[in-house]
Each structure stands twice: as C-alpha cells, then as structure tokens.
C-alpha cells in the first residue's frame, strides 16, 4: 500500500481516503436467541484464538529489533543485486501503479530507471524494496525477507510475526496436512481478529445450543477444512503468484458458523450498530467553527458553549444520521456480509483485481459448507417448524385464536410430536371456552414435553392449565413427575398440593404411597406446616400399614412433632434510637 501511494497522484490519494472515510460500518452485536446452556466450546474457541494471536504478537515484538537490522541489510542486498532483474522488477511495479491510475510515465529507459534507483530517498528505497520482495516472496525465506523490510521503521507491532507462522500455515504452493485446517488471512491483524471473535460470539452461541457441543466442534473443524480446500483451488487457478503466501487463522470456520446460522435461524433478528464516520466528521467541523465563533465573542466560555452545544444538539436531534442501532433478519444481515465483503471482492480478485491479503475464498468455502451441513442434517426444516410455532404464539398473544389454532395445526401436520403446538392449541381453546378440547391438548402438550425431556416446560404447562381449570389432573405417574419437578424448581407449595392430589384422586395408584410421604416431607422441611404433614403420614400408615417407607415415616413424624413443640421465635427487641442532637 505504501508503495502504491508513492506513485499515486494527490487527487487519487484524497479520493481513496474519502472513500474509506465515508464507509458506513455495520457491527452485529446481538441475536435474539437466548442460550439455555453455557456455550463452552464457543467461549473456548474465542479464548484459544485470542491467546494464539497474542502469542504471535509477543513473538513479533521480541524478534522486532533483529528483524529491523536484517531488513535494512535486505534492502541494500535487493537494490544492489542483479541490475537487469532489478530494472525488470521496477518496470513491472511502475506498470502496476500506472494501471491503478497513478501518474507514472510510460516506457522508462534503463538509464532513467538507474537514475531513479540511485536518487531515491531512504524511504523510497525501502518501499521499492518491499515491492520487489513481495514479487519474489516465493519461499519461506522470501516471506521472511518481505516481513523484515515491511517493518524496518516499526517500534511496536500489533500484527502477528509472519515467519513463525510458515510451518503451520497453509500455502497453496506447498499444501501440507498441518496447514490444512488453517485459513483466515495473511497475516491476521488485530481488527480482523476482533471482527472474527465478535462474529463467533454473536452467531456461535446459538449454533452450539442447537447442535450440541460435540457436533458443533466437529462442524467447526469441517467448515475450516472446506474453507481451505476452496481457497487452495481458487488460488492455484486465479492467483498462482500468491501461492506461497501463508494463511493462518479461523475465518473460514467462523464463516461456516455464519452459514449454518443464516439457514437455521434465517428469521431470527440480529441487532446491528451502525456508524457513519463522515457524518461525525461534518459535525466535528461544524462544532469547531461554532467553538471558534464562540471564542471570538465570549472567550473560553463561548468556545466551550459553541463546541459542546453543537454536539449536544446533534446527539439529541440528529444522532441517528450518524450512529444508532437497528434489527434485521439474520439471513439479510449475513447475506449482505457475504456478498459485499466476500463474493464481490473475491470475484474482482479472480478476474485480475488487486489482492487484499484476506482469504476471501476461504470465507466463501466455509460459509457454503456451513449451509450445506445445515441442509444435510435438516436444520432448515427445523427452523421452519420453529418459526411456525412462533407465528402461532404471536397470533395467540394478539388474541387471534382462529389463526393461532390454524398455524398450530399446520405445524402438527409437519411435526406431530411438537409439544409447543399442542400447548398453543390448548391455550387458544381455553380462551374460547372449549374446555374439553383445551384439556385434551394440555394433556398432549405435557406428555410431549416430558417425552422430549423438557420437564420445566411440562410443569409450566400443567400449572397454566390448572390456573384455568382447578380440577385438572394428569395420570398418577405423570402427576408425580410434574410435582417432583415443581419441587426441584423451588415451587414447594404447588409441589406439595399436587403430590397430595394423587392418593385422594387415585386411591389405588401405586404412586400414592410415595406421594403422601414426599408431600409430608415438603410440608415439614420447606413449608413449616407440621399439622398437614402429620395428617398425610397418618393416612399413609392407615392405607399401607406394611409400607416399605416406615423408617422415613417415623423420622418425618418425629420432625413434625419437634416442629410443633418448638417455641415460637421471640420477637425482636426494638432498637433504641440515639438521642437527638441539638444543632
């Protein structure tokens, strides 16, 4: 880039800077997809990538003093080498600059080139040597030389150290198994790392939640391999001169996570923060002018009022013109990222455009594999069913019961075991006063929830039905599971009441014996109602005189009696107030 700016016209430089400055940045920061479990794999990947990156930064700065000295030596070696080859390289670099619009004269003679090389300043010689080294970087030694020349003037680096990456990074010209799953960009910078870790944090958690940790980790690796394969093929086809460049990182795998997310959660809203730097720059200029005017009229106070007054007015009335947030479906958000920042630049590179140093085709390969993987395991269909349930729930929330029932029935045609659909139908029928249909669907919803291991959801559905229909009760075994789950959730009152329903509603049920004991224990241990506990224990002994739980019954009776005999707690003595102090 420095070498291109050396030969570019001032207008070209200004245009480039304005284009960069005017770009609106879009930063996804949240998806409306709460995770029920801690995404350990996602957090582990973020930590591992960050630690590896920081280690390469540390290595770069440790080696920097030596690299700077060797870089200066390499500059002189290159510019004093084979004169014919040096002229050819310089002429080709000038041609590249000319094609990019720089005002470089065409058809320079050997004498003119020699004069340019001899009269170039130290900075120009370093930039020229960097350009030549980039063209000759066809080996590990060539890459090391390029790195050293590029960092001659640096005192501190935030870029990874390139030479140590070479053994493990992927190089299209010399592919190896250790380098296969590594492809991000070459070399990865701090900003690129932040973007990748942000994407992994935003989209990886929900992906891990739906796939499970093991499948998610495996898919992550497979996406990385697919990314490298496509990157390798496109590099060898369209950019053989870049085939020795090492690429190391995780962008391809992270793009695969985004591809999976875009297909599985295509309607899930993504919250995006946007900022338009040029708008902020304009406000800054206006605020500065206002500050100068204020300073000329009212001095320092006027300068502060003018400058900060403009900013205050902007933040209150016009901040959305420069920054803010909005939500958009993930398919659109991720699709724009794919097309604008990857597909279009990658095609431009393939037809002979400038290489930007990022493994764009690795992003595309990983993204494509992530989508294919989602299709193969049925995640798209799973997402469609989920959104049908969401639509049915929204219709219920808006009191459109007919639509809620229709959508729930449509979902059940595609997924007969969907507990949520039965629950929406139950609530909708309940709302319409169709008690029999409501209770039938509540029972089905609870059973389906339990079959899929969703005990919390089953207990919640039962309590909702019970609030509307106080006589509702499930079969003894199911009722016992629901009450036990309520106790695990700390809802002891409902747990005890629903346990004691079993022996009195189903006197011959085998669950009745244990329900009486467990209910009595809850009344003693958590509700401090020993009288109720004693009644339940006496009923247990009367009905089951040979109960196998007799030892527990005796212990519970003793605990209840001790609780009844315990003196009530003494009231707290009032705390004396300190005497009033006269002022």
Could you say which DSSP state residue 514 is in?
Answer: H
In angstroms, what CA-CA distances link 26 with 341, 389, 538? Answer: 12, 31, 69
The three-state secondary structure class of 279 is helix
What residues contact 268, with CB distance under 8 A and at least 6 apart? Answer: 31, 32, 33, 206, 329, 330
CB-neighbour burial class of residue 295 (10 A; exposed 0-12, middle 13-18, buried 19+): middle
Report how far residue 150's alpha carbon sits from residue 126's, in angstroms, rounded to the nearest whole number.
Answer: 8
Report how far residue 235's alpha carbon sits from residue 218's, in angstroms, rounded to the nearest whole number.
Answer: 26
Dmax (CA) for the chain in angstroms is 117
In angstroms, what CA-CA distances link 425 with 259, 270, 412, 431? Answer: 34, 29, 10, 10
Structural element, H or E, at residue 348? helix 344-350
Per-residue pLDDT of the chain (583 residues), as tens digits, is: 434 444 444 544 444 444 444 456 788 999 988 778 899 999 999 999 888 888 888 888 888 888 889 988 888 888 887 778 777 877 777 777 767 666 666 767 777 777 777 777 778 788 788 888 877 776 667 778 888 888 888 888 877 665 544 555 655 555 544 443 443 444 456 777 888 999 999 999 999 999 999 999 999 999 998 988 888 888 777 766 565 566 666 888 999 999 999 999 999 999 999 888 788 888 889 999 999 999 988 888 889 999 999 999 998 888 888 888 999 999 999 999 999 888 888 888 777 666 666 778 889 999 999 999 999 999 999 999 999 999 999 999 999 999 999 999 999 999 999 999 999 999 999 999 999 999 999 999 999 999 999 999 999 999 999 998 888 999 999 999 999 999 999 999 999 999 999 999 999 999 999 999 999 999 999 999 999 999 999 999 999 999 898 999 999 999 988 888 777 655 545 545 555 444 3
* Other CB atoms within 10 Å distance of the CB of residue 523: 28
Q: Are 249 and 196 in contact (CB under 8 A)?
A: yes
Torsion-angle region of residue 567: left (phi > 0), alpha (psi -120 to 50) or beta? beta
In Å, how far from its chain's centre is CA 61?
A: 30
Could you say which DSSP state residue 489 is in?
Answer: T
* Other CB atoms within 10 Å distance of the CB of residue 524: 24
Could you say which DSSP state residue 242 is in?
Answer: G
Q: Read off the pTM.
A: 0.73
Q: Are 163 and 144 in contact (CB under 8 A)?
A: yes
DSSP, residue by residue, 451-465: HTT-HHHHHHHHHHH
Please report, for the chain, the start and end positions of each structural domain, with discontinuous segments joined by +. Answer: 2-276+322-374, 476-563
Class of the domain covering 476-563: mainly alpha
Structural element, H or E, at residue 273? strand 269-275
Report how far residue 29's alpha carbon sits from residue 269's, in angstroms, rounded to the nearest whole number.
Answer: 11
What residues contact 325, with CB distance under 8 A and at least 6 apart? Answer: 271, 272, 273, 274
């Amino acid at each position: 880039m420095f070498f291109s700016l050396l030969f570019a016209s001032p207008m070209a430089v200004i245009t480039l800077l304005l284009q960069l400055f005017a770009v609106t940045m879009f930063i996804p920061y949240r998806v409306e997809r709460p995770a029920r479990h801690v995404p350990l794999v996602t957090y582990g990947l973020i930590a591992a990538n960050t630690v590896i990156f920081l280690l390469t930064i540390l290595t770069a700065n440790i080696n920097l003093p030596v690299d700077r000295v060797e870089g200066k030596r390499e500059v002189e070696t290159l510019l004093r080498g084979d004169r014919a080859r040096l002229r050819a390289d310089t002429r080709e670099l000038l041609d590249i600059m000319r094609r990019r619009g720089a005002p470089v004269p065409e058809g320079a003679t050997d004498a003119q080139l020699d004069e340019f090389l001899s009269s170039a300043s130290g900075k120009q010689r370093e930039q020229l040597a960097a350009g030549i080294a980039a063209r000759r970087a066809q080996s590990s030694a060539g890459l090391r030389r390029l790195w050293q020349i590029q960092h001659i003037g640096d005192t501190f680096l935030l870029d990874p150290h390139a030479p140590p990456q070479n053994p493990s990074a992927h190089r299209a010209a010399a592919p190896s198994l250790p380098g296969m799953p590594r492809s991000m960009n070459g070399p990865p910078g701090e900003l690129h790392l932040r973007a990748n870790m942000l994407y992994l944090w935003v989209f990886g958690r929900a992906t891990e939640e739906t796939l499970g940790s093991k499948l998610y980790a495996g898919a992550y690796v497979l996406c990385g391999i697919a990314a490298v394969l496509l990157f390798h093929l496109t590099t060898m086809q369209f950019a053989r001169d870049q085939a020795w460049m090492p690429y190391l990182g995780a962008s391809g795998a992270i793009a695969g996570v985004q591809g999976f997310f875009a297909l599985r959660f295509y309607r899930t809203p993504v919250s995006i923060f946007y900022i338009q730097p040029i708008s902020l720059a304009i406000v800054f200029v206006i605020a500065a002018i206002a500050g100068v005017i204020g300073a000329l009229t009212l001095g320092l106070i006027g300068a502060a009022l003018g400058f900060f007054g403009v900013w205050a007015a902007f933040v209150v009335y016009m901040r959305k013109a420069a920054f803010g947030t909005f939500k958009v479906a993930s398919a659109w958000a991720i699709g724009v990222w794919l097309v604008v920042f990857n597909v279009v630049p990658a095609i431009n590179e393939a037809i002979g455009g400038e290489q930007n140093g990022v493994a764009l085709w690795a992003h595309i390969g990983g993204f494509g594999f992530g989508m294919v993987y989602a299709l193969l395991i049925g995640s798209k269909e799973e997402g469609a069913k989920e959104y049908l349930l969401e639509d049915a729930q929204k219709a219920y929330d808006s009191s459109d019961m007919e639509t809620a029932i229709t959508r729930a029935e449509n979902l059940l045609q595609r997924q007969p075991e969907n507990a949520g659909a039965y629950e929406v139908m139950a609530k909708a029928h309940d709302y319409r006063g169709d008690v029999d249909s409501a209770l039938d669907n509540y029972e089905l919803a609870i059973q389906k929830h339990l079959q899929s291991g969703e005990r919390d959801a089953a207990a919640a559905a039962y309590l909702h039905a019970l609030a509307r229909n106080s006589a509702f009760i499930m079969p003894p075994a199911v009722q016992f599971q629901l009450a036990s789950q309520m106790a695990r959730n700390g809802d002891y009152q409902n747990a005890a009441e629903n346990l004691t329903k079993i022996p009195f509603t189903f006197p011959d049920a085998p669950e009745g014996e244990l329900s009486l004991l467990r209910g009595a224990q809850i009344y003693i241990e958590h509700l401090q109602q020993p009288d109720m506990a004693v009644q339940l224990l006496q009923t247990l002994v009367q009905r089951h005189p040979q109960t196998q739980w007799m030892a527990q019954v005796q212990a519970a009776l003793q605990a209840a009696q001790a609780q009844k005999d315990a003196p009530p707690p003494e009231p707290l003595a009032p705390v004396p107030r300190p005497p009033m102090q006269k002022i």
